Amino acid sequence: MIIAGLDRERRFLLVTYTDENLATLRRKVFEKFGFIPTNITLLTYFTFLYSFCYRPVLAMKMRTKGINFKSPPKETMKLPRHLDSFYIDPGRRLYHNRIAKLLDTKGVIAEVTKRVAKYFDVLCFDEVQDIGGHDFQLLEAICGCNMDLLFVGDFFQHTYTSSSDGPLNKSLHDDYEKYKRRFQKSGLVVDTTSLSKSHRCSASVTKFIREHIGIEIYSHTERASEVTHVTNQKEADEHHACATTVKLFIQEHSKFGCHSQNWGGSKGQDHHGDVCVVMHQAAHKAYLAGRLREISPLIKSKLYVACSRASGNLYLAQDKLFKKFKQLVPTKSVDA
């Protein structure tokens, strides 16, 4: 939807949450035009937040040195919100999840939104489901800009939260209907039909997701593919050795010595054909019992992301079949 609406006349700002999806958007823009047009700017959310929103307005005054992507120490929650030390670590780096709050505290939100409308005609925001906390409040303020806005996201693929720091918008993703109403209150038209059918997944994969994970997703075609439960070591070994089938692990994928990615980290990637989703014990047990839709919301969202990466066949395996491939991190020896 975002790529289809691009042209060479208007000034576009394309913002997305993950580096993986930024690479995907950049590739699709290149495929459309044969190059990246100068009227199209692509940024990850935190690059947009820091470089476009914060730096031109506050950086000279506050003399900071970049972003700290670690969670702020718990004791900083006791600090008054008007103190710079609430937002800046001892190395003069901004806490990533407090930058939007800082813009609000310093009273520069209006200036920031004017900058967005001044330099761009259209703002397209992908993976909007991962924006939360004070960042969501900033997004609502941008909705008041005199420009065209397109926010794209899948509520059920909420696997990250850009800002989780205090009670603001803490329950934002608890209720789908309330979530949609937040956008409607900001003056946006909520469209839940245009992207309801996947152009990537087969009808077989979307049926599996509906019936086992409990998320209503359909395929754009009636194309069938395999959805197979890997039950023995020989099959697992073959999948591990296959250079074209991506293996998706819940974590630490780099330790398994194969073409792989983590469940959550695969979000935004649309170039995979066959996918082997490697389930940890709890998820595999729930799958066998037909209770995947009852697992924790975060794990369920990540599993949905992993399964929906498949444009070809989908294979499901228990992690114990891959344990023999996991590389142990060597311990460092110290000479006496």
Give the pLDDT confidence of 307-329 residue by residue, as tens digits. Answer: 999 999 999 999 999 999 998 54
pLDDT at 331 over 60: no
The pLDDT value given to residue 328: 59
One fold for 3-185 and 197-325: yes
201 burial via Cβ count (<10 Å: 0-12, 13-18, 19+): buried
Fold annotation for 3-185: Rossmann fold (3.40.50)
| Cβ atoms within 10 Å, residue 249 | 25
* 245 Cβ neighbours under 8 A, 6+ residues apart: 239, 259, 273, 274, 275, 276, 315
Locate 214 and state its tokens: 């409990």
Say whether pTM exceeds 0.85. no
Q: Report the alpha-carbon distance of residue 315 to residue 239 in Å, rounded.
A: 9
**Angle, vertex CA 263, rays to CA 291 and CA 314, nearest 5:** 70
C-alpha torsion sign, points 234, 239, 243, 247: negative
197-325: CATH number: 3.40.50.300
- Cα 13 to chain centroid, rounded: 18
- Cα–Cα distance, 17 to 43 (Å, whole number): 9
Return the domain boundaries, the chain: 3-185, 197-325
Summarize pLDDT for 87-131 with one digit per residue, the tens: 999 999 999 999 999 999 999 999 999 999 999 999 999 999 999
